[in-house]
Amino acid sequence: MRLVRWGEGGSEKPGVLDENDQVRDLSAITDDINGAFLSDMPDFDVESLPPVGDTRLGACVARPGKLVCVGLNYADHAAEGGWDVPTEPVLFMKATSAISGPNDPVILPPGSEKTDWEVELGIIICQTAKHAADGAAHIAGYCVVNDVSERAYQQEMGGQWTKGKSYDTFAPIGPWLVTADELGDPTGRSIWLEVDGQRMQDGNTDTMIFKPAFLVEYISRFMTLEPGDVITTGTPPGVGMGKRPQVFLRGGQEMRLGIDGLGEQRLPVRAS
């Protein structure tokens, strides 16, 4: 099943894609694609739901309580940034106010000179996980996330990474939440990103150091994961910071990114 949220920003409605990629309205089944719905999804006939015309898609999960990020989870990405390959997952948080839709503009902070891209596989939680023994049992599904990052804020202003990760629009999520049973194994999938048509990242989720089920188990040792929470699982090499010379985003550009089976994002970049 491919779940979506559709409509104007701040007023999105729940939906599901049918076999022809047409959005169907789920409003008769649930108020939103949120933790309550994901923890106890009812059975329903997709083809019986009313179709929706062309519409904006919002983030594919509503109001997650947490947006937990895993850093340096691809060894070749760690190498391009000059970091050691981690022996345990590197965790940081990204503000949920950064969440935006899969085709919404990414707004550069005033004076930004080092805003970068990071295509990532997102995990969405369906059942409360605390010291989880079976991480897969807590995963509702997967999605595309762009962990947009202002590198000067992240690396040159002291403290943790959160300040470089949390500007409004720095967490486009979607277009779809593909349920775990529909997607199957999330590893071995092409993961890529382009800027103005130039391929910058071209990886495979099979090269993640720490796999999704293990990440749920590991993170749940340090915090309780709740239905609707999102985990981003790291990015493959090809970020702008790792280029020689370095390359960063400018107003007027467009990012296009995707993961096999999880759809694509198209994100115009705008200066403040």
Count the Cβ atoms, other than its own, within 10 Å of residue 53. 7
- How far apart are the C-alpha atoms of 188 and 186, rounded to whole Å? 7
Give the confidence band of 80 by pLDDT, cuts at 50, 70, 90: confident
Cβ within 8 Å of residue 200, ≥6 positions away: 117, 193, 194, 238, 239, 240, 247
Mean pLDDT of the chain: 96
Confidence of residue 159 (pLDDT cuts 50, 70, 90): confident
Q: How far apart are CA 6 and CA 80, in angstroms?
A: 37
DSSP strand E in the chain: where?
A: 2-6, 13-17, 23-25, 67-71, 90-93, 99-100, 106-107, 115-116, 119-125, 139-146, 149-150, 171-172, 177-179, 190-195, 198-204, 230-232, 254-259, 263-270
> For the chain, which domains are there?
61-270 (3.90.850.10)
Confidence (pTM): 0.96
Q: How confident is the model over 210-242, as pLDDT tens digits? A: 999 999 999 999 999 999 999 999 999 999 999
Tokens of 104: 């919404």
Count CB-CB contacts under 10 A for residue 230.
26
Q: Which 3 state secondary structure label does DSSP give 179?
A: strand
pLDDT digits (tens, 9 = 90+) for 97-141: 999 999 999 999 999 999 999 999 999 999 999 999 999 999 999
Residue showing tokens 């705008």: 270
77 membership: H or E segment, kind and range = helix 75-81
